[in-house]
Amino acid sequence: MAKQQTLNFFGTKRKADEVKEEKVSRPKRSTTPEPKVESKSPKSPKSPKIASPKKSTPVPSTATVCAETAKKLKEEGSDHWHGPLLYRTIVDTFEKIEATTKRLEITAHCAALFLSVLKSHPQMMATVVYLCINRLGPDYEGLELGLGESLLMKAIAESTGRTPAYVKTEYQKLGDLGKVAQSSKSNQRAMFKPEPLKAANVFDTFRDIAQTTGKDSQNAKINMIKRMMGACQGNEAKFIIRSLEGKLRIGLAEKSALVSLSQAFVTFEAENQGKKVNPDNITAGEEMIRDVFCQLPNYALIIDAMLENGIMRLSETCKISTGVPLKPMLAKPTKSISEVLDRFQDTEFTCEYKYDGERAQIHKTDSGEMFVYSRNSEDMTVRYPDLVSIIPKFAGEAKSFILDCEAVAWDRVQNKILPFQVLSTRKRKNVNEDEITVRVCIFAFDILYLNGESLLTLPLAERRQKLKEAFTEVPGEFLFAKSMDTSNVEEIQTFLDQSIKDSCEGLMVKLLEGKESGYEPSKRSRNWLKVKKDYIDGIGDSLDLVILGGYFGKGKRSQWYGAFLLGVWNADSEEFETVCKTATGFSEEMLQKMYDKLKPTVIESPHSDVSFDSTPANLPDVWFDPTTVIEILAADLSLSPVYKAGIDQMDRGISLRFPRFIRVRDDKGIHDATNSDQIVEMYQNQAALVG
């Protein structure tokens, strides 16, 4: 496979004075494919109506105006932002956001920061956005921080002259390593005032830390942290450490940052044209940037396109592209076939097998490079070399494409599907194709892009036709998802029963014709419904929950954790909320595996971002660092004074009744699991049915 090209992460090159700072020993940069951003594309049917300037009035690009504005500010010397962008400017905004819980105020503070950066340091916009949402780049680059507490406490102690015991005691008292770093730093005397931290260097160092591996990586990371800590002023240390821990804790959700970004661009462009901000353009800009981000989740590319052509042309200039995985379309659960028929009444729909494997998005670029991405945009190309090898067999003459598929464990002797548990035994790292024992078969069910053309807005029937025309089935390696077009209840039931016999989970039922049958990235849509055998007698869907704590077993189970405290993630509050305790569905073999997996993650006390009931009788015997996601099936949902998921004004959360373990979800990160909003929606839907 050809070597991937490095992505120009910042849109434009930084000036030398913005990156000149003390040198850090840097690892080799990771690489990502250089995606193609189309300059022309068909009009999106979802493009909102906007107030556009008169054609007779030539409007310079945002990038041109940004450069002129920055030059003027620097010449006047009247703006404290001239010169390199300082990290403290971003920290000032963090403090304002942390001081409020009002969503509109949070968005306004963030938008004000983005607008200021847009005026004076437009080339830093992507960096600032990533610092604000505490990310290091697009998901598919696979760069994460989330450093362990012990490493951070050691770095704080060494950089502030405190003892490790003192730092540990302060952490137990404050529950926030950022505050510990801040208090330790404020009591430290410096012989001379250090050079102020620059935002570019902070971000670059974060990325260096994330990419540093090997024998002496821990010491190398600590040394890089110490350099930053030594230059910290004011409250910078608090947010440096929080960012490194992966928990910024200011209440700024990514969806709010997207809104702020669109508001900043719309406002700047209006000011540039000497006009008042049009509220309709604010709304249109928010919708447009949200839709485009679902198709091309890369802030650097989107910001670069807006700087060059403006936000109102974003849907034309920034489209789905090979090499950049989009978030997949997801299905809503149903509890019965009659519910499916009620939803799709008087419409054409299709039923497909729901395969029990791993969601895979397969890309082939114009240059011939091939990539495989997971449902959460993780690059799985090196994990599936055997899959990459079979792409030429089924791709035919297709020059570029994006397929939505399911990778399923396959028995090549008996030509049948194997359980998901078999697939999960495949190695995740250092995979050698000659040593693979668990083979996969790809079941393709959708095509999103073909030979330079986005297919997202086409009806499913047309996409499916293009899929079958462009690709060829290869027995045991690449097959089309088995489907049936019918509206007969008995036929659907028979097809569901047959899918279970064929080792599938059930059925996917999808709208086949019309505008609504287009592919909706990153959306759990009512135009796709899923029907599983287990759903019919349960809540309608399984849940993917994060393990937060453990309870020691009794009797034969005394040597393991016999039960687990589970939670969901609330993106708005940036907290894990407890939702249930489960001890059902685990075999002794699985309990042993869970014990081996979780024991290294035991922590002395829960993280401060865990919301739980502190009544002693309800506390787990041990707390875990949240790392593991498991799939749970339950009878129904109920209100609870003990659990905190979706907690309402009466201090009652939502809990699961009779939760039962199904399997470990190694393919999901802790923030990709079921979230608090989904729990609330499921409870409301259940209540509506009962009512």
Question: What pLDDT does residue 619 have?
Answer: 95
Residues 9 and 143: beta-carbon distance below 8 Å: no
Do residues 350 and 512 lie in contact, with contact meaning Cβ atoms separated by under 8 Å?
A: yes
* Structure-block tokens of residue 158: 């060494």
CA distances for 339 relative to 165, 511, 531, angstroms: 60, 14, 10
DSSP per position, 309-361: H-GGGHHHHS---TTSPPPPPEEEE-S-HHHHHHHTTTS-EEEEEE-SSEEEE
pLDDT of residue 684: 84
CA atoms within a 13 Å half-sphere pointing along the CA-CB vector of 397: 2
Measure the CA–CA gap between 541 and 13, rounded to whole angstroms.
48
Report how far residue 506's alpha carbon sits from residue 487's, in angstroms, rounded to the nearest whole number.
17
- The residue among 118, 465, 44, 571 whose CA lies nearest residue 294 is 44
Parallel, antiparallel, or unpaired: how do β-strands 622-624 and 602-603 relate? antiparallel
486 φ/ψ sector (left φ>0, alpha ψ -120 to 50, else beta): beta
DSSP class of 675? B
Which helix (DSSP H) or strand (DSSP E) does residue 550 occupy?
A: strand 543-552
Q: What is the largest CA-CA distance in the chain?
A: 83
- Count of CB atoms within 10 A of residue 589's CB? 8
**CB neighbours of 253 closer than 8 A, spacing ≥ 6?**
571, 572, 574
DSSP one-letter string for 460-496: HHHHHHHHHHH---BTTTEEEPPEE----HHHHHHHH
Quick check: is 427 catalytic? no
φ/ψ region of 77 (left if φ > 0, alpha if ψ in -120 to 50, else beta) reads left
Q: What is the pTM of this model?
A: 0.78
Q: What share of the chain is helix, strand, coil (3-state, %, to 5)?
A: 40, 20, 40
Angle between helix 254-272 and 62-76 (nearest 10) = 80
CA 39: distance to chain centroid? Answer: 27
Specify which residues 524 forms β-bridges with: 330
Residue ranges for the chain with pLDDT beneath 70: 1-82, 190-191, 534-540, 649-650, 687-691
Name the active-site residue from 354, 510, 530, 644.
354
613 sits in which H/E element: none
- Residue intervals of the chain classified under CATH 3.30.470.30 are 330-533
pLDDT, residue 486, reads: 87
- CA–CA dist 305, 374 (Å, integer): 26
Residues spanned by CATH 1.10.3260.10 within the chain?
A: 149-245
Cβ atoms of 352 and 438 closer than 8 Å: no
Closest CA to 133 of 293, 273, 251, 9: 251
Q: DSSP alpha helices (H): ranges in 336-416? A: 337-343, 385-395
Q: DSSP label at 558?
A: T
- pLDDT tens digits along 239-255: 999 999 988 889 898 98
Predicted confidence at residue 191, as pLDDT, reads: 66
Structure tokens at 83: 């010169």
Tokens of 298: 């890369």
In 3D, which of 111, 126, 121 has the Cα closest to residue 69?
A: 121
Pick the CATH number of 543-690 from 3.50.50.60, 2.40.50.140, 2.60.40.10, 1.10.12.10: 2.40.50.140
pLDDT of residue 1: 43
The domain made up of 330-533 is a member of CATH 3.30.470.30: yes
CA distance 415 to 565: 40
Instruction: List 507's β-bridge partners, or say none.
Output: 353, 531
Comma-separated ranges of CATH 2.40.50.140 domains in the chain: 543-690
Question: CATH top-level class for 149-245?
Answer: mainly alpha
What is the bridge-based pairing of β-strands 610-611 and 575-582? Answer: parallel
- pLDDT, position 657: 87
